[in-house]
Structure 1
Amino acid sequence: MILNKYQVLKPLGAGRYGQVFQVRNLNLGLISALKIVLVTEPDRHKAVVEAQAQSLCGHDHVVEVRTADVFDSSVLIEMEFVEGGSLGDRLLREFVPVADSVSYVKHILYALEHAHARGIVHRDVKPGNIMLAPNGAKLSDFGTATHPSTGISVIDEFYMPHASPEAANGGSFSPASDVYATGLTLMRAINNMAAWGHIITDDGSWRNEVANGGIPALVGFPDYVPTPLKKILNTACAPGYGDRYPRAAAFRQALERLRFARRWVRLGPDEWSCEHAGKPEILRYLDGGQPRTEYVVNGRRRTEFCRTFPTEREARRALERAVASTTLVSTTRMTARRPSRTKIPDELPAYG
């Protein structure tokens, strides 16, 4: 299929604001990602996209916008094609270690610092807009971005599930709104939560939770997440604007103070694996008549974390807490900038 100057190779995804395809630019011979957006004022939309692209171009952690054209009452936005797909794609395919998710989000916070310094608020930070390139994560799709000081925006809508309470209630977006959305994105990533499950319901009741800042509490934390990271996310996702990190840089700096000792990978519901100091380590759940946990280093059983439990639930929680307690360097000391008024519960809701 040929569309304007593009040969369409395959669809990459579709959302509320347009469809994205992998294409070949026939004029330049480049493989690109092409977003097709139907808008009522395509010339204005094109002009705003081009202005934003010029402001954001050249940053290592922002997906490059190559051109924007008007074609058949649509805007065609040509972007660099990122072979690794999105964080949302990876969450659908496999378990993403906590260390990887934190690394990706630090890159995205760099991108947001760059955008905010130029007066641009993204308004659509989510796993599907974090592209995984060989040199790190890149923030994509500024299609709902706004420039608060002038009121100029590409489109008036925004991604409601990740909207901060102040934005959902009054439509007022700021860099702190992007901080909230990025914090919620990281929460979803460490939960390996590609979809919303029971949280986003057809009856629309979840919109009240967005307005009240209750979505992060519904997501919660699994037991394998280290406490210092929970504290950081409680601050990033604080419902009150004044309790949150005010800037992307403050959020990023808090994450950078974390020191990861182990990159645990969940092999299945009963087993975790990593390599530490050049040796393979395994934490597993066993049930040979009585639930128990086992810790194996370089093929040898270690007594640490090896225990029996009265119930399967207690054993599984102890397994994940062992993962949490060994993920970070033990000397790490982390404090959030301010305590959140609403603490996100440690208990993770059960949802598929």
Structure 2
Amino acid sequence: MSDYAPTPQPKKTPGSSDHRLAGLNPIGLMDGVLGGRSTDWEPPSAESLEPYFPGYTSFRYIDRGGMGAVYSALQTSLQRRVAIKILPPELVDDEGFMQRFQQEAQLLARLQHPHIVTVYDFGITLAGHHFIVMEFVEGVSLLDIIRRDSLGASRALNITAQVCEALGYAHERGIIHRDIKPSNILIDQRGFVRVADFGLAKSSLAQNTTTSARTRGFLGTVGYTAPEHRRKDTVPDHRSDIFSLGVTLYEMLTGQLPAGVFDPPSKTCGTPSHVDRIIRRALMQNPADRFQTALEMRAALASSLMRMGTPLVQRAIISKPITSMVTCVIVGMGLIYLLDALNNKFLVNRPHAHVSTAQPSVGEMTALQKPEESIIPLSSEWAVLHIKTRWPLVPLAVAKLPGWTFAEIHSESEQAEVMRLLAEKEFNSPLWLAAHAQQDDGHTPFTWVSGRPMDYQAWVGPHVAQPLLITEIQAKNSATLVAGEESPDWIEVMNTSAAPIDIVGYHMRQMVVQDSTRRFYSQDWLLPSRVPEGMSSILQPGERRVLICRNHATPSSSHMFITFNLEGTSARLQWCDPRGHICQNFETPWRAFPTDASIALAPDGKTWGWSEKPTPGAANSAVKTAFTAPVAGSKDEQGLAFLPDLGGRWCGSPQQFTKAALLRRKAP
């Protein structure tokens, strides 16, 4: 999404420069407001930065722009990826520049909203590096979506409404974006909108901001900027963002910018006339004739969507953080008792129901208060409950939805219908189904919560008695393996059976253990789209296959890949077959993984240990220091997941994962 061209990377930190898929690339953050200078400065290597950032590890170079270089890193205390921007020394020497840098960092850190990329911290390292720490978001920019495919009216209006939520929040705090356009709107992996690059943002409450901004010349992007930005006698306010958003909405619908005298979308692409009225009002030359607030525009979008029969998907808006937290705690305590009562009333007395003692988190409690606001209708019979929650809490939410039930699928025709409806909505996130198993031991069957027989099954793949197994792991690769311009971390898997095995559907999970509590926080599947052209997804007996692991989904011409952070220092790995059964459970974490070493299965095929000579795709070399061997299966209770990316096939998944859920109308 960056407006800056990628530049050569430091030799020691190769990485991808594909901004669409390498997570949110915040290289342009603050570039515009702080001058947009160019520099010949050579960024430090990721490896050299790590010692100066206690609490952060697994540094990776992303890209650089005129205002510095950006790296991703793992914040070990919270086990989350962040983006860290390092400023070049020549800018640090500019006293005026540094004053503005601190002002703008503090300004951006005030924006705490689910649809705005968050600034976490800024400061100076012991080595003198000035830095800013931001949220790292994986996704694709709206610009790339527009270039790749046409957007339907309902999706375009929903995206615009989410941007309105972000802008409304910022405007209420006196902050104007000033560069709303498709490349600054990111769609994350959940389908949520994230407004990025508040780099041109200014505070409408700061009296000196306008003057300094104007001395640096025109701000914004030609084609999207409101006309008042070009008038010397006018001070633009928050309504200029509404104009830019109107331009963006028009472009989403038509693929064109509304330059000069332009045709309304109803004429060019057949959208309803009430959508024309929204765009026309947002694009009025006089700010007084536009929507006066972003939330007023959002209300118009919601009304338009209702008329189209596709209600706006509701999401939480944080308008008063302190009050919201106090209210959440008070309401949340009451909700725990309510959920407990619902659990007893609706579940305990049902012989086939699954009863769990899982307590909802604060976020889950907030979403579960009004589950009806998170329903995405698919048809008169099917819907998605778009609350990311754990499997045991889904029945509690469904109990508050008259007319709906936690969905079961009992025929191939039902399976095909749900898949078709999800494809129409472009919904591809995993969904919980109403089936569970008491543990993952390879033998315990799944059962529907209704007690009905599981007369139809649609597993991702067939049961394999001897599955593919990981034989080597390299979580800190520098020179062992090169894939294109990268030196990615990797795992090696092997077919140790006597029959061919398809690798599609195999997946990895990652978990942390805190206070003896296992918490799963990431997983990813090997999809058919990740098989390079000319490569088979079938592994023959004795064949080894190297899978590269990285935090973006850029296609590789030489290797299959999985989007996975392999170097989490307190994480455990699980390698699972297509049905979700754990083939290998690596319970022991590795700490300070040595560069270019590996954990490998010894040549004897029984013991595991550290190897100083990794052998990707070839027979393993001898191991030295022992490493705890993985085990199969677990006692984690399983929920049943529906996977749109794998044709709607089914897979078992630990109930601690959070997913949306499939709903079905109750039979009359």
1:240 CA displacement: 1.5
Q: Percent identity?
A: 21
The equivalent of 1:164 in structure 2 is: 226
Q: Which amino acid aligns with 2:198?
A: F
1:330-341, aligned counterparts within 5 Å?
none
1:47 CA displacement: 1.5
Q: Which amino acid aligns with 1:10?
A: I
Bigger helix fraction: 1
Distance, in Å, in 2 between the alignment partners of 1:131 and 1:228 is 26
- Taking a change above 3 Å as real, the CA distance of residues 10 and 225 of structure 1, as seen in their structure-2 partners, is same
Distance, in Å, in 2 between the alignment partners of 1:20 and 1:228 is 45
Q: Residues 245-273 of structure 1: CA distance to partner in whole angstroms, max 9, x if unpaired? A: 1211211111111123379xxxxxxxxxx
Q: Residue 24 of structure 1: which of 54, 67, 73 is its match?
A: 73
- Taking a change above 3 Å as real, the CA distance of residues 248 and 120 of structure 1, as seen in their structure-2 partners, is same
1:175 aligns with 2:238: yes
1:215 aligns with 2:215: no
Q: Residues 110-139 of structure 1: CA distance to partner in whole angstroms, max 9, x if unpaired? A: 111111111111101111111213262121
1:169 CA displacement: 1.3
Q: How many residues align?
A: 247
Q: Residue 126 of structure 1: which of 150, 174, 181 is its match?
A: 181
The equivalent of 1:261 in structure 2 is: 309
Kept after mapping to 2: 8 A contact 1:69/1:77: yes
The equivalent of 2:106 in structure 1 is: 51
Q: Residues 262-295 of structure 1: CA distance to partner in whole angstroms, max 9, x if unpaired? A: 79xxxxxxxxxxx7657779xxxxxxxxxxxxxx
The equivalent of 1:85 in structure 2 is: 140
1:78 CA displacement: 2.7
- Taking a change above 3 Å as real, the CA distance of residues 160 and 53 of structure 1, as seen in their structure-2 partners, is closer
1:99 aligns with 2:151: no
1:20 CA displacement: 7.1
- Taking a change above 3 Å as real, the CA distance of residues 54 and 9 of structure 1, as seen in their structure-2 partners, is closer
Q: What SS is found at the alignment partner of 1:215?
A: coil
Q: Residues 312-332 of structure 1: CA distance to partner in whole angstroms, max 9, x if unpaired? A: xxxxxxxxxxxxxxxxxxxxx
Kept after mapping to 2: 8 A contact 1:46/1:69: no
Q: Residue 228 of structure 1: which of 264, 268, 274 is its match?
A: 274
Greater CA drift, 183-192 or 2-11: 2-11
Greater CA drift, 98-107 or 75-84: 75-84
Kept after mapping to 1: 8 A contact 2:181/2:248: yes
1:74 CA displacement: 8.4
1:215 CA displacement: 3.1
Greater CA drift, 244-253 or 81-90: 81-90
1:10 aligns with 2:62: yes
Which one has more relative contact order, counting CA pairs under 8 Å at least 6 apart? 1
The equivalent of 2:298 in structure 1 is: 252
The equivalent of 1:64 in structure 2 is: 118
1:219 CA displacement: 8.0
Q: Which amino acid aligns with 2:83?
A: A
Q: What SS is found at the alignment partner of 1:109?
A: helix
1:108 aligns with 2:163: yes
Kept after mapping to 1: 8 A contact 2:228/2:235: yes
State which structure, 1 or 2, has the greater radius of gyration over its C-alpha atoms: 2
1:53 CA displacement: 2.9
Distance, in Å, in 2 between the alignment partners of 1:90 and 1:18 is 27
Q: Which amino acid aligns with 2:231?
A: N
The equivalent of 2:205 in structure 1 is: 149
Kept after mapping to 1: 8 A contact 2:156/2:249: yes
- Taking a change above 3 Å as real, the CA distance of residues 22 and 261 of structure 1, as seen in their structure-2 partners, is farther
Q: What SS is found at the alignment partner of 1:160?
A: coil
1:239-318, aligned counterparts within 5 Å?
239-258=285-304, 259=306, 260-261=308-309, 277=380
1:141 CA displacement: 1.5
1:191 aligns with 2:254: yes
Kept after mapping to 2: 8 A contact 1:121/1:173: no
Q: Which amino acid aligns with 2:119?
A: V
Distance, in Å, in 2 between the alignment partners of 1:187 and 1:37 is 36
- Taking a change above 3 Å as real, the CA distance of residues 127 and 239 of structure 1, as seen in their structure-2 partners, is same
Distance, in Å, in 1 between the alignment partners of 2:139 and 2:230 is 32
Superposed CA RMSD:
3.5
Q: Which amino acid aligns with 2:165?
A: Y
